[in-house]
Amino acid sequence: MITTKLPFLRCWALIFTMLAFCDTSNASEPDSDSMTRRIDSYLEAAMLAHHCVPAPICDDGTFIRRAYLDVTGLPPTGREVLEFMADDRLEKRDLLINRLLRSPGSANHLANTWAQWLLPDELVGARRGGLTEWLRDRFAENLRYDRMVADLLTASGDAETGPTAYFVSLEASPEKIAAKTSRVFLGVQLECAQCHDHPFDRWSQKDFWGFAAYFAQLNRDLVSGGMANAAIRDLEQGEVTLPNTEVVVAPKPLVSSGLSGLQSGTRREQLTLWLTARENPYLARCTVNRVWALLFGRGLVEPIDDMRPANEATHPELLDELAEYFVASGYDLRDLFQTIASTQAYQRAVIHPDGSPPVESYAAMINKPMTALQIAESVNVVARQVVGNPNELQAIASQLGNLRGEASAAQLGIVSALVVLHGNVIDSISRENSSRLLKALEAPFLDQQSRIRWLYLATVNRAPNDQELHACLDSLRLTLDDLSEGEIVAAESQWLSDLLWALVNSTEFALVP
């Protein structure tokens, strides 16, 4: 007979799942449609109080580009744009979000996003170890988020094939792991209390080192061999002390809850049971705020990793209710994305009839700068290399730099702009002798107007408006005037190459509408 012994953490997870079921068996199931309407009600009430009217709903072309980039990190193809615009079903936007959230592209995008939050910026491509692949598998199966966090924070083994790259990348340093864990999963900038009591928050120096003590018993001899030879395991000893003293600090959760006094299991398991408990509000609030920022370009709390009491949310009641909903849904991250993306607020146009309302009003959608990876993926799609090489994508993203930082604020700079304008990648995909897109447009059944239209659809995911189309045709006509028949083909190819270069380098290409 083969028997399987459940790990300590999974036993406790099963117990608390059963307890939660017993406590809520008479309660109604959380309803996504109702929560979607509640979000809009909160935002519209706040607009009314500030004498602000909402912008109109965006057109279908804008919405499909927005949804694809936000949910999958990829732009739609021209054909997908045309098919979506021709779809006359009333529910087609909800259906699109639903389909995208279940696509491999969504799992890949979320994995890259979380890996970027968890790992140092200098770790790119293959050097990210197995963490990105591990995250991709969890997002693909829609593993409940609290379980995914628990599995990550208690992981052991090889850094190249599992999530322990997180600990290796932080050199198995208790203080570095504590600081990163509190930022990403709690929305707390705890490292400000590392050397002294936090000047702007409630956390003391002992709070920081008490949190770091949960990671003090990781083996620390792994960093000498680098990522390739590293493995993580828990030891039976290891302590942290206050800086410049011999005062040992015992593990201590940041706030008391029903699980604060647990002494069983490894220290990491003890911490994880506290961190993922229903009574602990930090994980749900932090996750909701990060998902909101991914979809709206800014969090309900900004910066998204500084959710201290003094840094109040723009809509505190909405944040609280969304966090409660997320917990009640079973920490269903896919459902959370669907619920927020189905709102009227997410579908609003960028242009507001009254000019520029405050961004925190959500009266209009923020014109969001793409992340470096979104630009790299978009360039890859324009190059018609749909699968692409992940290491090449990471290299492009690294060249571009971080366009959006740990918080969701945009960081577009002149260096990034110059890389896009003059980089070899952009140059190669827009040259007539190397661009796969331009070669595809040489088909004899396409006329000049069709070629221009497909260039717009392939880059900014919309057809040119009448003014743009007429301007392009006039420019092309002037270019070809007085040329011999043998020169026209080469001149037209060069003109289309210039148009492609201009579209890829346009502001519109670099924005999520």
- Mapping DSSP to helix (H, G, I), strand (E, B) and coil, where does residue 236 land? coil
Predicted local confidence at residue 297, as pLDDT: 93
| Share above pLDDT 70 across residues of the chain, in percent, rounded to a whole number | 79
Nearest to 137 by CA among 168, 97, 106, 158: 106
Lowest-pLDDT range of 45-59, 155-169, 232-246, 408-422: 408-422
Predicted local confidence at residue 510, as pLDDT: 87
401, pLDDT greater than 60: no
**pLDDT tens digits, residue range 186-220?**
999 887 777 766 666 677 889 899 999 999 999 86
Predicted local confidence at residue 379, as pLDDT: 84
Q: How far is CA 356 from CA 350, 376, 432, 496, in A?
A: 9, 30, 40, 35
Contact criterion met (CB below 8 Å) for 187 and 208: no
Kindly indicate the confidence band of residue 127, based on its pLDDT and cuts at 50, 70 and 90.
Answer: low
**pLDDT tens digits, residue range 57-80?**
999 999 999 999 999 999 999 999
Please give the residue that has the higher pLDDT: either 179 or 191: 179
Lowest-pLDDT range of 7-21, 208-222, 271-285, 383-397: 7-21
Contact criterion met (CB below 8 Å) for 108 and 73: yes
59/73 Cα distance (integer angstroms): 20
What average pLDDT does the chain have?
83
Q: Where are the alpha helices (DSSP H) in 228-304?
A: 267-275, 281-296
The C-alpha R_g of the chain, in whole angstroms, comes to 25
Lowest-pLDDT range of 18-27, 111-120, 168-177, 189-198: 18-27
Q: How far is CA 290 from CA 29, 410, 500, in A?
A: 24, 15, 34
Lowest-pLDDT range of 35-44, 180-189, 212-221: 212-221
Secondary structure string (H, E, C) spanning 332-382: CHHHHHHHHHCCCHHHECCCECCECCCHHHCCCCCCEECCHHHHHHHHHHH
Kindly indicate the confidence band of residue 274, based on its pLDDT and cuts at 50, 70 and 90.
Answer: very high
491, pLDDT greater than 70: yes
267/226 Cα distance (integer angstroms): 25
426, pLDDT greater than 50: yes
**pLDDT tens digits, residue range 325-381?**
999 999 999 999 999 999 999 999 999 988 888 888 999 999 888 887 888 888 888
Q: What residue type is 3 in one-letter code? A: T
Contact criterion met (CB below 8 Å) for 330 and 144: yes
411, pLDDT greater than 60: no
